[in-house]
Amino acid sequence: MANRPKGYGNSAEVASKIDAKYSEEDELEIVAWISSLVQSSPAEKGKEAFQAWLKDGQVLCKLMNALQVGSCKPNPPYTGKAPAIKQMKEMANLGMFLNAANEYGVKHEYQFQTVDLYEAENLARVQIGLIELGRCATKKGAPGLVPKEETENKRDSKPVTEGSSAGGSVIGLQMGTNKGPSQSGQNFGMERKIRD
């Protein structure tokens, strides 16, 4: 399934735009962070090696268990000859990781889909999901990937006093004006005539 063509015309253009969003700098940071927690790293650098390293879900489940003990129980690696069973077990591992990440605090809009990683459809989305997992880990005090995200945006708001706000009493042009004659009380049409 991973060898299917990306498409032609607009489909190929969309696929190339998605591929262009993949960041090699983010890959290095993500690999270093995951390697520090699970003592595993890909054999090479690059998009294909990154995908192959994470594809079976074993590393990702180990990562979740390092962050929260017992949160992700992966299927053991399949050694049989049926590729369909192997694919099913690996995709189930990815699904368990995504569920555990959701329970850990990664918001749904930051998560990737199983096919994004398993078939390398959108590896940039996988990076976004792992960076957000690193953010959540930092918030919870575990070794994280990025600096702690700000939780409060405190602003100093002073009460508006007369004269301190230039233009505070001016009505914008789109709202009309309050000067000059108005059309209140005017009737634009024939009045209803009632006769006895």
Assess whether pLDDT exceeds 60 at residue 36. yes
Q: Is 146 inside any structural domain?
A: no
Q: Is 194 inside any structural domain?
A: no
Query: At a CB cut-off of 8 Å and minimum separation 6, what does 169 contact?
Result: none
**For the segment 150-170, what is each residue's pLDDT rounded down to a tens digit?**
677 777 766 655 555 555 666
Q: Is 42 inside any structural domain?
A: yes
**For the segment 1-16, what is each residue's pLDDT rounded down to a tens digit?**
455 555 677 888 888 8
The pLDDT, as a whole number, for residue 12 is: 81
Q: Is 62 inside any structural domain?
A: yes
Q: Is 51 inside any structural domain?
A: yes
Place of tokens 């998009």: 47
Q: Is 135 inside any structural domain?
A: yes
**For the segment 80-129, what is each residue's pLDDT rounded down to a tens digit?**
889 899 999 999 999 999 999 999 999 999 999 999 999 998 999 999 99
- Spatial distance between the Cα atoms of 5 and 150, rounded to a whole number of angstroms: 42
- Burial of 157 from C-beta contacts in 10 A (0-12 / 13-18 / 19+): exposed
Kindly write down the DSSP assignment for every residue of 113-165, as one continuous string: PHHHHHT-S-HHHHHHHHHHHHHHHHHTTS--SSPPPP-------PPP-TTTS
CB 61 within 8 A of CB 97: yes
- Spatial distance between the Cα atoms of 84 and 119, rounded to a whole number of angstroms: 14
Spatial CA neighbour of 125 closest among 19, 3, 11, 12? 19
Spatial CA neighbour of 22 closest among 55, 5, 45? 45
Q: Is 100 inside any structural domain?
A: yes
Phi, psi of 142, rounded to the nearest 5 degrees:
-85, 165
Q: Is 145 inside any structural domain?
A: no
Structural domain of 105: 23-139
Angle at 125 between CA 103 and CA 48, to 5 degrees: 115
What total number of domains does the chain contain?
1
CATH of the domain at 120: 1.10.418.10
